Structures are given as C-alpha cells and as structure tokens.
Amino acid sequence: MSQNSDEIFKKVISHSKEYGFVFQSSEIYDGLSSVYDYGPNGSLLKNNLKNFWWRSMVQLNENIVGIDSAIFMHPNVWKASGHIQAFSDPLIDNKDSKKRYRADVLVEDFTEKLFQKAEKEIKKAAARFGDSFDSKLYRKTNSRVLEYESKAKSIMKRFSKALKNDNLKEARQVIIDEKIKCPISGSTNWTEIRHFNLMFGTKIGSVADGANDLFLRPETAQGIFTNFLNVVKTSRLKVPFGIAQIGKAFRNEIVARQFIFRMREFEQMEMQFFVKPGDEKKWFEYWKKSRMDWHKSLGFKTQNYRYHDHEKLAHYANAASDIEYKFPFGFKELEGIHSRTDFDLKQHSKESGKKLQIFDPEINDNFTPSVIETSIGLDRMFLSVMSECLDNEILEDNTSRVVLRLPYSLAPNQAAILPLLKKDGLPEYASKIYDNLKFDFQLVFDEKDAIGKRYRRQDAIGTPLGITIDHQTLNDNTVTIRDRDSMQQKRVNSDDLNKIIRSATSIEALLKKR
C-alpha cells in the first residue's frame, strides 16, 4: 500500500519514540520546543553514525587529524568570524495567521513545488510513452517542463540577489509578486522582512564581577580555526591537510519544525581542509564528489540524493554546494560543502594579532591557506537514515512486518541473544553465550514473549542477527541464527558466532566501499 509522505513522516516520528530512538526533551514538563533527546537505541545508532564519519575522515586519510574543542569561546571569535554582524535569518510574518516564517524557506518551498510539477509532467509522459521514453530529451524539450524549471530558477535568482545585496524590500517583493501564500491562513498579507540573529547569548562569571557576554557556538568550525596554529605545530602537517571535529552547535531557530531536521541544539560533523591558494576549485570539486560517494556507500536509493549549488553564498564563501536528501517532506540540505577562502584565518589573524599562516619552503615565505569545508548535521543524517530504512514489508502470507533496514554495520545492536524458553537451563546457556560475545559486540538479551514476537521486536530496531538457543543447543552447542532481511535461519556452532557476527556487521566492509 503506498503511503503519502505526511504519513511516512508521522510513522518515522512515532517509531522513533516507541522504540527508544528519539524523545522530546523535557517531555514530562510538556517538552521544550525543537530540542530532542536520544534514547537507548537512538544513542547507539547516533554513535555508530559518528564513528562511521570519524573513521572515514580521520582514520582513512593520513592528512586529516581530529580535535575536540570547547563550546564556549572567546567573544571576539564571533566578531572576527562575522557571526555577530551577519549570522541572521530573514524573517517575515503573516498578518492573518500571525505565523512567522523564514523568507528564504518560503521561497525555496515555493520553487520546489514548481520543480515537483516538472517532475510530475515527466512521470506522466513516461507512463504514456512506455519503454521508448527518453526522459532526458523530454526534460530538455517539453515546453511545460521548461517553463516550470525556468520560472523556479529565475525566482530563486532574483530572491538570492536581493538577499545578497541586503535589499529586504526587493526580497519581500518577490514573495508578493509570486503571490506566495501563508500555508496556514492562505493569505498573502505579509509584513516587512527583518533580520534575526541566530546565536544564543550567555554569560561567564558572576554579574557582580563584571560578567563577560558569551555565545553558544552556532557552528563547530571556529574551534578548528582558532586551534589552527596549535594543530599545525603539534601534528607536523603540510598542505593540503584537514582538521575534523564532531560537536554540538546551537542556533536560535525561529521557525524550528520537522522533528530533528531543524533543532535549536544539534550536532555537527565538520572538516576544514586547508589548501594552497589557487587550489581551492580543485579541492572543492574533490570533496563534493567524495562526500556524495560517502553517502551513497550506505546503499540507499541513489535518486534520493542530489546536489544543490548555491546562488546565495554565506558571507565567507566563494562557492558552495549542498548535498540534499529526499526527506519525507521533500529534498532538503543534509550536508554543505563550502569554499570558505582564506576569510576565517585572515579575520582571526587581524582580530587576535597572531599570524595564522604556514611557511612554504618552495617560495620561502609564509602564506594563508584557503579552506574547503564539509559540514554535515548528525541529527539530519540520523533522520535521513530513519526515513530511508523504516519499512513495512508485506510477507508472502499477506501479513506484514515493520523492519528497520539499517545497514548491518550501523544498527544499534549487532545481534539479539534469545533463549527459546525461560526454563530448562536455556536462559543460563544463553547468558554464557552473551558473556562470551559482549566484549566484541553490542547485544540485546531478550527472553520475554514468544520467539516470533521477539524477532519482530528486533526487526523494528534493525538488529541484523537473532541467535536462538533451544534444547538442541544443550546437546550439541549449535544455535539458530536468523538474518533480519531474508528471515532465513540456519544452524551454526556457537563457537563460530564471533566470526559470523563480525563478518556480517563489521564497519570495515562499509568503509572499504568508498
């Protein structure tokens, strides 16, 4: 049965809660808006995603090192980086519904609908023409498709230009001219657009002592720039090289919706890659491709990923492209790849008075490297993985099962240990197996309910292997091992379990795919 995207998204949210992946923060106090906690299965999955990213970056690249910098930073960092001045969203209110929106998101959603209309035309034609249909040619030549696409592009261009020139009147005019409606009231009765800074302020020290105003970092990148000299000196790195880190970031998102897609406290996995000035174009292309390959190595549907090259650039960038994923609510940014030029290092040099440069023996002089950044939101990746993997499979006997088809090496638990009955010494034997394997694997031990029900429970949290201990085990030390996806069972000697689980679930196979 096909479901609409709204239903799919609701299922992802309710499944995340029901099976201990994601909870609303402070739920017993009615929750804190756009802040979420990860439960027992969610935190395991999140750690596996982090591990996959960290090892892909730091372990597999001899010229990338990792750091872990503090969330609190000197207030001048944000002056130098331009965040105090320019890290804001353009907000607009609808006077009828009294709802507040990000003007850029309103326009993006509007143009996305035009692109979707074009896609619908192509799908309709494909159904009409059958096998002989050439979708590339149709996209290039059909007048309706061309019209939708060119309209969407020209709206985005006009709007981006207005924002780039900080011309908020013209940006608003785009919304008026295109008759973009408030999704709640359906009206086009809009206020002016205003800027709103996204950084959370806080204070250090007691107020009486002359407290210092601080900000919670809105991105992890600045901790990399401020440690640039420390890392260069202690790691003996030569350009090109990268510094990676995973950490929390905070943004006072006004229009924070869509579950863990847009949060006020979230986690980023960022890597800044330092290159010789002039080489940035080459390395920008390199990382753009490399990051897309990384996403695709997960084996998800390739049509769910696409690039979106930016017209409107952040204040520090000279090129930017997003890797977008098709979330249940449409294609949205999952990761950003930015060519940040030498902006940050130069700004910090100016503000701190320290020379953030490298010596180049070839030219016998110091230079400021240019930077390519790759920045992915861990929580957004988590959401993409949940959306992609949650499946309601119809079985041959017309019953169905909910299965979370996580890549085996990312699942919260690698295997479930299941004594068939809660008697006859089976739980004790199963415990021994559990104790033998627990040093190498994250396991679940489950002895409650009928075995079929327990298999379903493990399917729903994505556990790749179910290991059942029955009466035969007591005689010959063999167990049944059930594979999540095929549901096939086979009998194996329990002495071989370590090898079998490792070969099915190790992350090495995933890392080698790239």
User: Of residues 121, 178, 280, 379, which one binds ligand ATP by CB under 6 A?
Assistant: 379
Please tell me whether residue 388 binds ligand ATP under the rule CB under 6 A.
no
Burial level of 417, CB count in 10 A (0-12/13-18/19+)?
buried
CB of 271: closest distance to ligand ATP in angstroms?
12
Nearest-angstrom CA–CA distance, 129 and 487: 39
User: Of residues 222, 268, 414, 494, which one binds ligand ATP by CB under 6 A?
Assistant: 268
User: Of residues 42, 240, 377, 466, which one binds ligand ATP by CB under 6 A?
Assistant: 377
Tell me the residue nearest to ligand ATP as measured from the CB. 377
Q: Which is nearer to ligand ATP, 379 or 388 (CB)?
A: 379
Contact 92, 162 (CB under 8 A): no
Contact 168, 194 (CB under 8 A): yes
Nearest-angstrom CA–CA distance, 222 and 207: 27
User: Of residues 103, 298, 334, 433, which one binds ligand ATP by CB under 6 A?
Assistant: 334
Contact 148, 115 (CB under 8 A): yes
Binders of ligand ATP among residues 235 to 264 (CB under 6 A) are 251, 253, 262-263
Nearest-angstrom CA–CA distance, 344 and 119: 40
Q: Which is nearer to ligand ATP, 35 or 229 (CB)?
A: 35
Q: Where does this chain touch ligand ATP (CB under 6 A) — which range of 298-306, 369-377, 407-415, 501-509?
A: 369-377
Contact 135, 152 (CB under 8 A): no
User: Of residues 121, 335, 388, 459, which one binds ligand ATP by CB under 6 A?
Assistant: 335
Cα angle at 88 between 83 and 92, to 5 degrees?
Answer: 175
Please tell me whether residue 266 binds ligand ATP under the rule CB under 6 A.
yes
Binders of ligand ATP among residues 214 to 233 (CB under 6 A) are 219
Residue 426 CA, chain-centre distance (Å), reads 42
CB of 249: closest distance to ligand ATP in angstroms?
7
Nearest-angstrom CA–CA distance, 82 and 350: 13
Contact 366, 360 (CB under 8 A): yes
**Three-state SS at 272:** strand
Please tell me whether residue 42 binds ligand ATP under the rule CB under 6 A.
no
Contact 493, 38 (CB under 8 A): no
Q: Which is nearer to ligand ATP, 334 or 461 (CB)?
A: 334
Contact 311, 157 (CB under 8 A): yes
SS percent in the chain: helix, strand, coil, step 5: 45, 25, 30
Please tell me whether residue 470 binds ligand ATP under the rule CB under 6 A.
no
CB of 313: closest distance to ligand ATP in angstroms?
11
Q: Which is nearer to ligand ATP, 241 or 382 (CB)?
A: 382
CB of 104: closest distance to ligand ATP in angstroms?
8
Per-residue H/E/C for 283-351? HHHHHHHHHHHHHHCCCCCHHHEEEEECCCCCCCCCEEEEEEEEECCEEEEEEEEEEEECHHHHHHHHH
CB of 251: closest distance to ligand ATP in angstroms?
5
Please tell me whether residue 333 binds ligand ATP under the rule CB under 6 A.
yes
User: Of residues 42, 90, 242, 336, which one binds ligand ATP by CB under 6 A?
Assistant: 336
Q: Which is nearer to ligand ATP, 251 or 295 (CB)?
A: 251
Q: Which is nearer to ligand ATP, 343 or 455 (CB)?
A: 343
Q: Where does this chain touch ligand ATP (CB under 6 A) — which range of 25-33, 69-77, 136-144, 331-339?
A: 331-339
User: Of residues 295, 326, 340, 380, which one binds ligand ATP by CB under 6 A?
Assistant: 380
Nearest-angstrom CA–CA distance, 374 and 421: 50
Give the residues lining the site for ligand ATP (CB under 6 A): 219, 251, 253, 262-263, 266, 268, 333-336, 375-377, 379-380
